[in-house]
Amino acid sequence: MKINGIELRRIAMPLVAPFRTSFGTETRRDVLLVRVVTPQAEGWGECVAMSEPLYSPEYVDGAADVLRRFMIPALRARLATPADADGDAGLDANLVGRLLEPFRGHRMAKAALETAVLDAELRTAGRSFGSYLGATRDRVPCGVSVGIMNSVPELLDAVAGYLDEGYIRIKLKIEPGWDLDPVRAVRERFGDGMLLQVDANAAYTLADANHLAKLDDFDLLLIEQPLAEDDMVQHAALAKRLRTPICLDESIESAAHAAAAISLGACSVVNIKPGRVGGYLEARRIHDLCRAHGVAAWCGGMLETGLGRAANVALAAMPGCTLPGDTSASRRYFATDITEPFELQDGHLTVPTGPGLGVTPIPEILEQVTTATEWIAF
């Protein structure tokens, strides 16, 4: 595949309500979009980096910088070299992965660029993300991630609203001081039948093990990332002291991390976020690894627009994604999405079947939310 040029576009997307986690409060999403233009098609990638380096070391200005300074030039340099023995100096998503490998870290930036190339490649081939990844379902059951609130009654109202909309699983964000009480209140109000899990975003230490063990009474599906991202050994120690299964998010940046976590006994569930692990190819490797080990997996989210959501829904439809994902409907995040909105039907989202992501930004809406664009010609 040849490339005419790559656009970096920034959009500002106000959230319908503030989203508070143990690491901070988001009121709007400042998103970097990558658009790869080829002679045949254009492909989109959404960078999941947030404005500040609080969830991970990456942040959106940093992602834009490393893309324009190093990663995009590496693709351009490759395309400028004469055709090799196979007569093909073109690019595909696999080759993008290899060309970006020398750059350490910056997986969210890599994921955005690789996804844009993959989308262009698949649109050219007339093949959907779901088909490419090996999705085996045409719709996926959806969960919703519920932020930390100012009071328990406010939380109960929010959860009631999501259950009314049809969400099949509720995830409560927790932190020290907001854990046992909200979980107990949600269980008491909505009963033992609902699928319930919690996410600490690394807010505890192993010294909190006895406190976290009190969550065992509430029959949670899992506790996500209780300890710091590099506390793999401590997570294994914690797992021995909890009945609640441990799921890792921040700690898993690659298939190698997932393999280490599984063999250490640091987790029995994996949250797969393509952005965090460098793209959908690595996400698929993690999926396959989990499946081979009988470890449950599910597709996480990073408050994506319809572009990122489309690919996540395809990933969530793979056979090893055995738990409902954080693949919520567009309206859970944004009053107006940049694509046709994803809407819940009976607690499920439909996997797009059109070429590539199967969705495209609506030009007028995209223009309205755009704050900057930059064209890098090849």
Q: Does 58 bind Mg ion (CB under 5 A)?
A: no
The answer to the question of residue 174 lying near ligand OSB (CB under 6 A) is no
Q: Which of 46, 179, 199, 253 binds ligand OSB (CB under 6 A)?
A: 199
Closest CA to 367 of 332, 340, 338: 338
Can you name the residues that pair with 374 across neighbouring β-strands? 8
> φ and ψ at 25, to 5 degrees?
-120, 130
Query: Is 273 among the residues known to form the active site?
Result: yes
Selected range binding Mg ion among 79-87, 162-170, 182-190, 221-229, rule: CB under 5 A: 221-229
Q: Is 34 one of the binding residues for ligand OSB (CB under 6 A)?
A: no
CB of 301 to ligand OSB, least distance (A): 2
Residue identified by tokens 């959009």 is: 11
119 is an interface residue for ligand OSB by CB under 6 A: no
Burial class from Cβ neighbours inside 10 Å (0-12, 13-18, 19+) for residue 333 reads buried
326 binds ligand OSB (CB under 6 A): yes
Cα 253 to Cα 273: distance, rounded to the nearest angstrom: 9
Cα 166 to Cα 16, 122, 344: the distances in Å are: 18, 32, 7
Residue with tokens 């600490």: 200
Which of 301, 356, 358, 361 touches ligand OSB (CB under 6 A)?
301
State which of positions 233-252 bind Mg ion (CB under 5 A).
249
From 2, 110, 171, 173, active-site residue:
173
- DSSP string of 245-305, one letter each residue: PEEESTT--SHHHHHHHHHHTS-SEEEE-HHHHTSHHHHHHHHHHHHHHT-EEEE---S--
Name the helix (H) or strand (E) containing 62.
helix 60-66
Q: Is 56 in the site for ligand OSB (CB under 6 A)?
A: no
Residue 113 binds which entry of Mg ion, ligand OSB, none, CB below 5-8 Å type-dependent? none
Residue 209 φ then ψ, to 5°: -55, -45
Number of residues that bind Mg ion (CB under 5 A): 3
171 is known as an active-site residue: no
CB of 145 to ligand OSB, least distance (A): 4
Residues designated catalytic: 173, 273
Residues that bind ligand OSB (CB under 6 A): 55, 145, 199, 201, 249, 300-303, 326, 328
Residues that bind Mg ion (CB under 5 A): 199, 224, 249
